[in-house]
Amino acid sequence: MNDIARERASLYRDMAPRHLTPLWEVLHRLVPPRPEPACLPHQWKYADVRPFVERSGEVITAEEAVRRVLIFENPGLPGQSRVTGSLYAGLQLILPGEIAPAHRHTQSALRFIVEGSGAYTAVDGERTTMHPGDFILTPSWTWHDHGNEGREPVVWLDGLDIPTIAFLDAGFAENASAAVQAIARPEGTSAARHGANLAPVRDADARPYGMASPLFSYPYDRSRAALAALVRAKAPVDPCDGHKLRYVNPATGGWPMPTMAAFLQWLPAGFRGRGSRQTDAAVYSVVEGHGRAVVEPVGAGAGVPRTFELGPRDHFVVPSWAKLSLAADEDCVLFSFSDRPIQQAIGVWRESRAG
């Protein structure tokens, strides 16, 4: 060790008790030349996952669990209950006759219905009946409970901004005094007020959930019909995404929630997509059809491309700045969500569509 090396080592040793460390020793790690996510690409085949979802219903009730969910834990983030660095995801099961009791929290949540019909979600005094493919919001700090008045199990994808809220140390939760909240408005009120390119005149009615969309239920039949109309009209097919639309807040035209974006896309039969990269890691749920996703990650998974064979109800995660190439053997519909609103709000979101 030369003199300057000894002096540096002495400096580091002497200032450590004062909780000081040298930036120059870690700068390359703190400000990397490109994203270096620990998140890894991964797929959860529904055929593999579904038996465990069913078994969870045999060992714990929805009331006892509060929310009976099997978490999609990213293999690059073990023990952290994260599907990406900023997002949580999992599959929730509710059986006929069960109630998942009412509570509220500062974390925002989305539901995408995967299997079954007859269950409902209630949000701040209004219910919506769940059907496969429906996209449902639970805005921050809104009372919500779930119930199943049907005859079959219902499974949905939960997506929450739990890691983001934890990073901000802003997590609060509260249980309701009753398992089921009082219903104050007939089902469909939200859609009548906000789902037909019309809005209430009074601001209190126009923005009942603050920055989140006042339309808390987006039925799949309407969303799919919009994509199908583009296909029938022979609208231009994006070389990376096929036909892709984003869910919007009808009051603002922006994202449905301030922390999470959601999308629905149609890959026409025979589609072979060009690769693209985005800084927002995304979670995908296959709604219809069969195809493939090739994910080429950077960071912890660099140099290990993954190919996922896709079928209905399968789920997969694409890390930040991983190159995603999609292909469809038949018409294929995909739902996805990400933290893009946060990234765009602070001006760091980027994409590359060069292939």
pLDDT at 106: 98
pLDDT band for position 302 (50/70/90)? confident
SS3 category, 233:
coil
User: 200-225: per-residue pLDDT in tens?
Assistant: 888 677 788 999 999 999 999 999 99
Give yes or no for residue 355 having a pLDDT over 70.
no
Q: Could you tell me how many residues make up the chain? A: 355
Inform me whether the pLDDT recorded for 277 exceeds 70: yes
Q: What is the pLDDT of residues 36-68, one digit of tens each?
A: 999 999 999 999 999 999 999 999 999 999 999
| Phi-psi label, residue 314: left if phi above 0, alpha if psi -120 to 50, beta otherwise | beta
C-beta separation of 323 from 295 below 8 A = yes
**Contact (Cβ atoms closer than 8 angstroms) between residue 210 and residue 140:** yes
49 neighbors 85 (Cβ within 8 angstroms):
no
What is the DSSP pairing of strand 306-310 with strand 291-296? antiparallel
Place of tokens 């919506």: 128
User: How many other CB atoms sit within 10 Å of the CB of residue 80?
Assistant: 15
In the chain, which ranges are continuous DSSP H helix? Answer: 3-15, 27-30, 46-59, 62-65, 162-167, 189-194, 203-206, 220-232, 340-345
In terms of CATH architecture, what is 32-352? Sandwich (2.60)
What local confidence, expressed as pLDDT, does residue 304 receive?
85
State pTM to two decimals.
0.96
Q: How confident is the model at residue 140 (pLDDT cuts 50, 70, 90)?
A: very high
Report the C-alpha gap between 203 and 272 in whole angstroms: 46
In the chain, count H helices and then E strands: 9, 22
Domain regions of the chain by residue span: 1-31, 32-352
Amino acid (one-letter) located at 253: G
Q: Does the structure show a pLDDT above 80 at 130?
A: yes
Q: Shortest CA distance to 105 belongs to which of 55, 157, 176? A: 176
Kindly state the percentage of the chain with pLDDT values over 70: 99
| Confidence at 282, pLDDT banded by 50, 70, 90 | very high
